[in-house]
Amino acid sequence: MKRRDFIKYTSGAIATGSLLSKAQSFANINPSQSAEIIVVGAGVMGGWTAFYLQEQGAKVTLIDAYGPGNTRSSSGGETRILRADYGEKLMYTKMVVRAHELWDKWQKEWGRKLMYSTGRLSIGPADYLTYAKEAKRRLKPFGIESEVLDRDEIIHRWPQLGILEDEVALYDAGGAGGSTLLAREACRATTEKFIENGGTFIHTKGLPGKSVNGKLDFIELSDGSKLRADQYIFAGGPWMGSIFPEILKDKLKVFRRDVLFIGTPAGDPRFSYPNLPIWLFRGTRWYGFPDFHGRGLKAAPFPDYNSIDMDTDERLIHHIEIKRARDFVAQRFPALKNQPITGGRVCQLTLSTDEHFIVDTHPDNVNLWFACGGSGHAFKHGPAFGEYMSNRVLGGAQVEEYDKAFKLKGEKF
Ligand SMILES: Cc1cc2nc3c(=O)[nH]c(=O)nc-3n(C[C@H](O)[C@H](O)[C@H](O)COP(=O)(O)OP(=O)(O)OC[C@H]3O[C@@H](n4cnc5c(N)ncnc54)[C@H](O)[C@@H]3O)c2cc1C
């Protein structure tokens, strides 16, 4: 079995001691051997962190309890938006521009399509015009040429949309201004490349073990065995509050989000890529994607804050969301009014108190890092985040602005 296949082999199996010994013999790895850095969590934050640490020459073991881009994780959806418009938070705009460059670089190098230049159309009531004009001005220095569109122009370009009187839009034609990332596919690709490049991936759960002289000594795996390293990075997404309850429970809030797919009419490509951009109706608070690969138009309400148990809750769409989706579609995508809902997904947002990511060391363990607090916007930053995180942990180039914003702060929910 080739290294590339290891991930496939482990993804359907229960992580036990016997699995580890099989993996050792198949993939020629030794999970019990000390690694320099262990990354817990192969979502977008952990996966790219492991990848970039390895790029910088570190010896890295990446573990995940359910596998990269799994259904329960926040990174496990079909698609995610890459957009540069972050209002006044220009540090994220900068990070997106870098991320876009890197997504493009890696998808080309790997020969695997992970990003589509779909464009992004953000529609709002008349008073959105001021924001749209400001956004256009703010994005220009980053090389992004946005357009501000009036109602007639929106209808002219996308007659398949239901546009209300006086609505206006901000349109970014693609690139860093508005692209679509294949989320689950990208998580698998990152981990597969990490393995191909010599990294070790183990399908197992890992929890922090004992601390010795202000350092974490080991993590404990599902089968009770211990894994040691010089540094440990926990990128457990929505699980972080339960892994470190004393530190993170009050600093992170996890909410459930329901996402629906609506079938497109037979032989009608108007709702499929490339005929529709990412769309967002600010007034009615719904956003979504064109149909990709025949999955259906993706539609999600925002914000929708309901609690969720990460390990035990079923991921079935709530019937209230189905009713709401039908009402929304009838108004905004009239031609889809009688189309069936073709599927749904449940995801979760992990909000930090100020919606900045959290990158910091554990207050009592200098070698234990947190990389979490995605706050509903981390996916797009994946490779730029991994690049930043690996520099941070290995003591390379620092970005003071990020270091400060991502600090573990005192505020609690
Ligand atoms: C509906 C929805 C829409 C979104 N839209 C966008 C968007 O358009 N653009 C955007 O940029 N962002 C978006 N986001 C946010 C983005 O998806 C998240 O911020 C991002 O995926 C978080 O990644 P993560 O790596 O922190 O967490 P996760 O993806 O959840 O990864 C954590 C991983 O850790 C593993 N794990 C947890 N505990 C352990 C343990 N003890 N041992 C081993 N493994 C463990 C889990 O199995 C999981 O794979 C959206 C989120 C949702 C829910």
Give the pLDDT mean for 147-172: 98
Residue 288 CB less than 6 A away from ligand 1:
no
- Of 20-29, 104-113, 273-282, which range is least confident? 20-29
- Would you say residue 77 has pLDDT above 50? yes
Closest Cα to atom 51 of ligand 1: 376
CA distance readout (Å), 388 to 11, 72, 151:
28, 26, 41
CATH code of domain 116-179+253-352: 3.30.9.10
Closest Cα to atom 13 of ligand 1: 377
Band (pLDDT 50/70/90 cuts) for residue 321 is confident
State the distance from the centre of ligand 1 to the C-alpha of 342, rounded, in angstroms: 24
Band (pLDDT 50/70/90 cuts) for residue 112 is very high
Residue 237 CB less than 6 A away from ligand 1:
yes
Tokens representing 219? 């993590």
Please say whether the beta carbons of 40 and 73 come within 8 A. no
For residue 255, list its beta bridge partners: 349
What pLDDT is attached to residue 224? 97
**Torsion, Cα of 276, 277, 278, 281 (10° steps):** -80
State the distance from the centre of ligand 1 to the C-alpha of 385, rounded, in angstroms: 13
Give the pLDDT mean for 348-365: 97
- Helix/strand/coil for 313: coil
- Would you say residue 168 has pLDDT above 80? yes
**Which residue, among 209, 216, 119, has the nearest Cα to 169 in the 3D structure?**
119
Task: Give the CA angle between residues 360, 365, 367 to the nearest 5°.
Answer: 70
State the distance from the centre of ligand 1 to the C-alpha of 150, rounded, in angstroms: 36
- Give 245-303 pLDDT, tens digit per residue: 999 999 999 999 999 999 999 999 999 999 999 999 998 889 999 999 999 999 998 87
- Of 67-71, 206-210, 300-304, 349-353, which range is least confident? 300-304
State the distance from the centre of ligand 1 to the C-alpha of 44, rounded, in angstroms: 6
User: What distance in Å separates the CA atoms of residue 82 and residue 114, rounded to the nearest whole number?
Assistant: 12
CA 30 to chain centre: 30
What pLDDT is attached to residue 308? 85
State the distance from the centre of ligand 1 to the C-alpha of 100, rounded, in angstroms: 19
Residue 207 CB less than 6 A away from ligand 1:
yes
Residue 389 CB less than 6 A away from ligand 1:
no
State the distance from the centre of ligand 1 to the C-alpha of 205, rounded, in angstroms: 16
HSE-CB at 207 with a 13 A cutoff on CA atoms is 9
- Of 17-21, 78-82, 122-126, 146-150, which range is least confident? 17-21
Closest Cα to atom 42 of ligand 1: 205
Longest dimension (CA), the chain: 67
Give the pLDDT mean for 61-84: 97
Give the pLDDT mean for 224-238: 97
Helix residue spans in 182-231 (DSSP H) = 183-196
Residue 206 CB less than 6 A away from ligand 1:
yes
Tokens representing 228? 């040691």
- DSSP tag of 45: H
Residue 191 CB less than 6 A away from ligand 1:
no
For residue 351, list its beta bridge partners: 253
Closest Cα to atom 21 of ligand 1: 75
Tokens representing 378? 């981390």
Residue 348 CB less than 6 A away from ligand 1:
yes
State the distance from the centre of ligand 1 to the C-alpha of 259, rounded, in angstroms: 15
CATH topology of domain 3-75+183-250+355-405: FAD/NAD(P)-binding domain (3.50.50)
List, by residue range, all CATH 3.30.9.10 domains of the chain: 116-179+253-352
How confident is the prediction for the chain on average, in pLDDT?
Answer: 91
Residue owning tokens 């640490």: 53
Query: b vs e for 131-141, b when ≥16 Cβ sit within 10 Å of the residue's Cβ?
Result: bbeebbebbee
Q: Please give the share of the chain, as a percent, with pLDDT higher than 70.
A: 91
Residue 235 CB less than 6 A away from ligand 1:
yes
Give the pLDDT mean for 39-68: 97
- Would you say residue 34 has pLDDT above 50? no
Tokens representing 38? 């262990």
Please say whether the beta carbons of 63 and 38 come within 8 A. yes
Q: Which residue of 51, 63, 75, 406 sits with most ligand 1 atoms within 8 Å of its CB, as the best mutation to test the pocket?
A: 75
List, by residue range, all CATH 3.50.50.60 domains of the chain: 3-75+183-250+355-405
Give the pLDDT mean for 362-382: 98
State the distance from the centre of ligand 1 to the C-alpha of 70, rounded, in angstroms: 9
What pLDDT is attached to residue 95? 98
Residue 239 CB less than 6 A away from ligand 1:
yes
Out of 234-248, 293-307, 320-334, give the one with best mean pLDDT: 234-248
- DSSP tag of 272: B
State the distance from the centre of ligand 1 to the C-alpha of 239, rounded, in angstroms: 9
Band (pLDDT 50/70/90 cuts) for residue 304 is low
Query: Which atom of ligand 1 is least distant from the CA of 45?
Result: 25
